[in-house]
Structure 1
Amino acid sequence: MKVFIPLLLGSFIFIGGLKEGFVFLFSLLFLLSLVAMIIGLIRPSLLKFSNRISAMKVLFPVFLASFLIVLITTDPVEEPRTDQETVQEDAVEQKETEETENAEEQSEEQKNKNEDENAAESKNKDNREEIHNEEKENANEESDSSSVNKQEEKQQNNTENKNDSKTLDEKESDPSNDESTNESTDSESDKRPSNETKGTTATVTRIVDGDTIGINLNGTIESVRLLLVDTPETVHPSLPVQAFGPEASSFAKKTLSGKKVQVEYDGPKRDKYGRLLAYLWVDGKNFNEMLLREGLARLAYVYDPPYTHMSSFTKAQSEAVNAKRGIWSIEGYVQSDGFNAVESETETKQSNNSSTASTETKTSGSSAYNGPYNPQGKDRNCGDFDRQKNAQAFFEAAGGPEQDPHRLDRDGDGAVCESLS
Structure 2
Amino acid sequence: MDNFLIILFMLSFIGIIISLIRPSFIRFSSRKSAMKVFIPLLLGSFIFIGGLKEGFVFLFSLLFLLSLVAMIIGLIRPSLLKFSNRISAMKVLFPVFLASFLIVLITTDPVEEQRTDQETVQEDAVEQKETEETENAEEESEEQKNKNEDENAAESKSKDDREEIHNEEKENTNEESDSSSVNKQEENQQNNTENKNDSNTSNDESTNESTDSESDKSPSNEAKGTTATVTRVVDGDTIEINLNGMIESVRLLLVDTPETVHPSLPVQKFGPEASSFAKKMLSGKKVQVEYDGPKRDKYGRLLAYLWVDGKNFNEMLLREGLARLAYVYDPPYTHMSSFTKAQSEAVNAKRGIWSIEGYVQSDGFNTVESETETKQSNNSSTASTETNASGSSAYNGPYNPHGKDRDCGDFDKQKGAQAFFEAAGGPEQDPHRLDRDGDGTVCESLS
TM score, norm. by length of structure 1: 0.54
Work out whether residues 213 and 225 of structure 1, in 8 Å CA contact, stay in contact via their aligned partners in 2. yes
SS at structure 2 position matched to 1:241: coil
Shift in Å, 1:183: 3.3
Structure 1 pair 111–33 and aligned structure 2 pair: CA distance change class (3 A): same
Work out whether residues 163 and 336 of structure 1, in 8 Å CA contact, stay in contact via their aligned partners in 2. no
Deviations 1:312-347 (A, max 9, x none): 211211121122111111110100011112357898
SS at structure 2 position matched to 1:208: strand
Whether 2:418 is the aligned partner of 1:392: answer yes
Q: Structure 1 unaligned segments of length 5 or more: list them.
A: 168-175
Deviations 1:130-183 (A, max 9, x none): 99999999999999999999999999999999999999xxxxxxxx98444223
SS at structure 2 position matched to 1:266: strand
Work out whether residues 320 and 351 of structure 2, in 8 Å CA contact, stay in contact via their aligned partners in 1. yes
Shift in Å, 1:379: 3.2
Structure 1 pair 148–28 and aligned structure 2 pair: CA distance change class (3 A): same
Range with greater deviation from structure 2 (5-14 or 87-96): 5-14
Shift in Å, 1:417: 1.4
Deviations 1:53-97 (A, max 9, x none): 999999999999999999999999999999999999999999999
SS at structure 1 position matched to 2:149: helix
Aligned to 1:171: none
SS at structure 1 position matched to 2:249: strand
Range with greater deviation from structure 2 (228-237 or 87-96): 87-96
- The structure carrying a bigger helix percent of its residues is 2
Range with greater deviation from structure 2 (307-316 or 395-404): 395-404
Range with greater deviation from structure 2 (408-417 or 327-336): 408-417
Q: State the distance in 1 between where 2:218 and 2:400 align.
A: 45
Range with greater deviation from structure 2 (359-368 or 84-93): 84-93
Work out whether residues 188 and 337 of structure 2, in 8 Å CA contact, stay in contact via their aligned partners in 1. no
Shift in Å, 1:109: 30
Work out whether residues 366 and 398 of structure 1, in 8 Å CA contact, stay in contact via their aligned partners in 2. no
Q: State the distance in 2 between where 1:26 and 1:191 align.
A: 115
Work out whether residues 71 and 94 of structure 2, in 8 Å CA contact, stay in contact via their aligned partners in 1. yes
Q: State the distance in 2 between where 1:87 and 1:64 align.
A: 36
Structure 1 pair 43–185 and aligned structure 2 pair: CA distance change class (3 A): closer
Shift in Å, 1:186: 2.6
Shift in Å, 1:383: 3.8
Range with greater deviation from structure 2 (213-222 or 401-410): 401-410
Deviations 1:115-139 (A, max 9, x none): 9999999999999999999999999
Deviations 1:199-256 (A, max 9, x none): 2111111111110111110001111000110011112222111111121112111221
Deviations 1:251-298 (A, max 9, x none): 111221111111111111111111111111111221111111111110
Q: Which of the numbers 384, 401, 404 marks the counterpart of 2:427?
A: 401
Range with greater deviation from structure 2 (4-13 or 136-145): 4-13
Shift in Å, 1:14: 72
Structure 1 pair 158–143 and aligned structure 2 pair: CA distance change class (3 A): same
Deviations 1:348-374 (A, max 9, x none): 788778767766766665974344433
Structure 1 pair 114–215 and aligned structure 2 pair: CA distance change class (3 A): closer
Q: Which of the numbers 116, 120, 125 marks the counterpart of 2:159?
A: 125
Shift in Å, 1:299: 0.6
Q: State the distance in 1 between where 2:285 and 2:81 align.
A: 154
Work out whether residues 414 and 442 of structure 2, in 8 Å CA contact, stay in contact via their aligned partners in 1. yes
Structure 1 pair 3–220 and aligned structure 2 pair: CA distance change class (3 A): closer
Q: State the distance in 1 between where 2:418 and 2:128 align.
A: 90
Shift in Å, 1:185: 1.7
* Count of residues paired in the alignment: 413
Range with greater deviation from structure 2 (404-413 or 110-119): 110-119
Work out whether residues 366 and 394 of structure 1, in 8 Å CA contact, stay in contact via their aligned partners in 2. no
Deviations 1:364-401 (A, max 9, x none): 65974344433113333334433212211211221223
SS at structure 2 position matched to 1:365: coil
TM score, norm. by length of structure 2: 0.51
Range with greater deviation from structure 2 (396-405 or 198-207): 396-405
Structure 1 pair 346–68 and aligned structure 2 pair: CA distance change class (3 A): closer
Work out whether residues 241 and 355 of structure 1, in 8 Å CA contact, stay in contact via their aligned partners in 2. no
Ranked by relative contact order (alpha carbons within 8 Å, sequence separation 6 or more), the top structure is 1
Work out whether residues 26 and 69 of structure 1, in 8 Å CA contact, stay in contact via their aligned partners in 2. yes
SS at structure 1 position matched to 2:296: coil
Aligned to 2:111: 77
